[in-house]
Chains A and B, each alone.
Chain A
Amino acid sequence: MTRQSMHRVNVPVTIVISILAIACIFPFFWMLRSSFMSNLEINRYPPTLLPTLWHWENYPQTLRTFPFGRYLLNTLTITVPALLGTLLTSTLAAYTFARLNFRGKKFWFMMVIASMLMPGAVTIIPIFLGWTQLGLSNGYVPLIVPAFLGGGGFNIFLGRQFLLTIPRDLDEAAYIDGAGHARILFQVLLPLIKPVLISIFLFTFIIYWNDLLGPLIYITRNQQNTIAQGLANFRAGFGTDYRAIMAACTMSIAPSVALYFIGQRYFIEGIVLSGLKA
């Protein structure tokens, strides 16, 4: 194969992939375009590609019945502590499995790996009844606390895999200097494992932002609803006003999309790490 042909663009593939990419983007475009239309125009048939007049006022109008700010605050009230708990406790476990030798290590590691395949939906009934016994089944506590209990097998595994790629020289030097394990982890290794921490952060964020089952079980008051819950209710309540529903939907997915554009590199790296190194 000559150098020339290596650089030649494959035209048919480029055309097919471009068409597929447009199809992939289309739902976003359709959502945005619908959110700016008048109620008359959105129900016109055949549909028009773009609004003839951009109705920006759809958004403030939607906000009157869809308290996005409130929902955002509620979602953050769950997500921020959950992120903290996940990062902290999964890093501790990852460090232990990657660096320390102790009795029972194999057993606990196997348990963690096995828990990765555990389908979470199977245990919603006993966990809910457990929180009921504690009198805490109504509110954010059951949604936050599990994040502080190891942060999930997958994150522990991801962190461990990443730590194994970092040479031990640094922690050994620190150990000889008299540093304890907490100091080795948080002062020496933490800066080095930043990429995997960012990946865990992003995945955890997506999972909590995505969750509907948890909030439906534990949050009954409308005032405390999360974004996902609010959007699902809004759609159920405003069945045919698709202009308002699309405006609400645009606002609801905006934080995730924004986060994606900010952290894109880490998303891709993290996905590759999670899908290949396993």
Chain B
Amino acid sequence: MKSSRSRRTTLVAYLFLTPAILGLVFITVLPLLGVVGISLTHWSGLVPPTYIGLDNYRDIFTVDPYFARSVVATLYFAVGAVIMGTLYAFFVALMLNQRIPGRGFFRSVFFLPYVVPSVGASVVWGWMYEANFGVFNYFLSLFGFDKVQWLGNDITATPSIIALTVWGLGNFIVIFLAGLQSVPTSYLEAVEIDGGRAWHKFRHVTLPLMSPIIFFNVLMSLVTNLQIFIPARTLTKGGPNNSTLYMVLLIFREGFERNNFGHAAAVSLIFFLFIGALTGLIFATSRKWLFFEGA
């Protein structure tokens, strides 16, 4: 009786899980194997692929003029966006956690950019960055500075895209604020009784208790931001001087605009290993600064 019931449960479980398992197989596992396979071929899409061994990889590391540039640009953008985004969100959340009127209202305001589709955000910021009539250069001129080609030179292009990305990180603010509100006041009061000042409270109570939340969100946003595509595709097309030719844009261009699927797949696989190594690095160092209550 009992075994037939548990057999039925197993049957129901796998029935319910069928879509998810098909998803794992067809969206994750097989495509990953596919990336490996395709990367060993020359495939233009029009004629059947031909096996060329590791030639694509050799080309990437020797003659491809874009790859190295793309890796650097992607890393620059993603690390910049994650660090600036975390600092910005933490700073705003800390302030929202003070005694201020209309906290809920302010929270809604800072969250709002998160729901704006990336293309829309890019287009609006692109107009504000515009060199001749854009409002940012007007603000600069009020302080006596010359006009800057925000998206038109390779020094400011990626920082400009970082700024509009950070603006959209309202979800971080909401998460950090909720985390701050869950820090027990008794801990903070204990530091106060011991004569600790605001900095001590922050350094020895708030920050350690928040570290798992920060860790998780930094990890997720790093993976997201390494895949930056929309602002670069909408505003800069990878330029100027390939300074915003981020990895996904490179893969897209090689694959879908140049029909060079083998090469694009090889770049994809390296990109995958690159992301894996970075997340691995974060996990490895996390033991040093991560604090788990009761652990």
Contact check, A126 vs B20: say whether CB atoms are below 8 A apart.
no
Q: In this assembly, does B27 line the interface, its C-beta being within 8 Å of a C-beta of chain A?
A: yes
Q: Interface SS of chain B: helix, strand, loop or mixed? A: helix
Contact check, A249 vs B261: say whether CB atoms are below 8 A apart.
no
Contact check, B10 vs A102: say whether CB atoms are below 8 A apart.
yes
Cβ of A97 to closest chain B Cβ, rounded Å = 8
Contact check, A256 vs B116: say whether CB atoms are below 8 A apart.
yes
Q: In this assembly, does A16 line the interface, its C-beta being within 8 Å of a C-beta of chain B?
A: yes
Residue of chain A at shortest CB distance from B178: A272
Residue of chain B at shortest CB distance from A229: B119
- Give the segment of B57-65, B227-235, B286-294 that binds chain A: B227-235
- Give the segment of A57-65, A164-172, A189-197, A212-220 that binds chain B: A212-220
Give Cα distance in the complex from A217 to B12, angstroms: 37
1/0 contact string of A1-42 vs chain B (CB within 8 Å):
000001111100110110011001101101100100000001
Q: Interface SS of chain A: helix, strand, loop or mixed? A: helix
CB within 8 A of B265: which of A95, A126, A242? A126
Cβ of A109 to closest chain B Cβ, rounded Å = 10
Give Cα distance in the complex from A60 to B37, angstroms: 51
Residue of chain A at shortest CB distance from B34: A126
Give the tally of cross-chain contacts (CB within 8 A): 289
Q: In this assembly, does B279 line the interface, its C-beta being within 8 Å of a C-beta of chain A?
A: yes
Contact check, A9 vs B120: say whether CB atoms are below 8 A apart.
no
1/0 contact string of B26-42 vs chain A (CB within 8 Å):
11101110110110000
Contact check, B127 vs A242: say whether CB atoms are below 8 A apart.
yes
Residues of chain A having any CB pair with chain B under 8 Å? 6-10, 13-14, 16-17, 20-21, 24-25, 27-28, 30-31, 34, 42-47, 89-90, 92-93, 95-96, 100-103, 105, 108, 111-112, 115, 117-130, 132, 146, 148-152, 156, 180-181, 206, 209-210, 212-213, 216-217, 227-228, 231-232, 235, 242, 245-246, 249, 252-253, 256-257, 259-260, 264, 267-268, 271-272, 274-276, 278
Sample of 23 A–B contacts (CB below 8 Å): A8-B99, A17-B100, A21-B106, A21-B110, A24-B112, A30-B127, A89-B19, A93-B19, A102-B6, A108-B21, A125-B251, A132-B45, A180-B12, A212-B118, A213-B252, A217-B252, A235-B234, A242-B130, A242-B133, A259-B115, A271-B171, A272-B175, A276-B179
Residues of chain B having any CB pair with chain A under 8 Å? 6, 9-10, 12-14, 16-17, 19-24, 26-28, 30-32, 34-35, 37-38, 43, 45, 92, 95-96, 98-101, 106-113, 115-121, 123-128, 130, 132-133, 135, 138, 141, 167, 171-172, 174-175, 178-179, 182, 213, 216-217, 219, 223, 226-227, 229-230, 233-234, 247-248, 251-252, 255-256, 261, 264-265, 268-269, 271-272, 275, 279
| Interface contacts beyond A108-B17, A122-B35, A130-B26: sample of 17 additional A-B pairs, CB < 8 Å, sorted by A | A13-B99, A20-B92, A27-B128, A89-B20, A92-B17, A118-B28, A122-B271, A125-B261, A126-B265, A206-B117, A210-B117, A213-B229, A213-B248, A217-B256, A242-B127, A275-B175, A275-B179
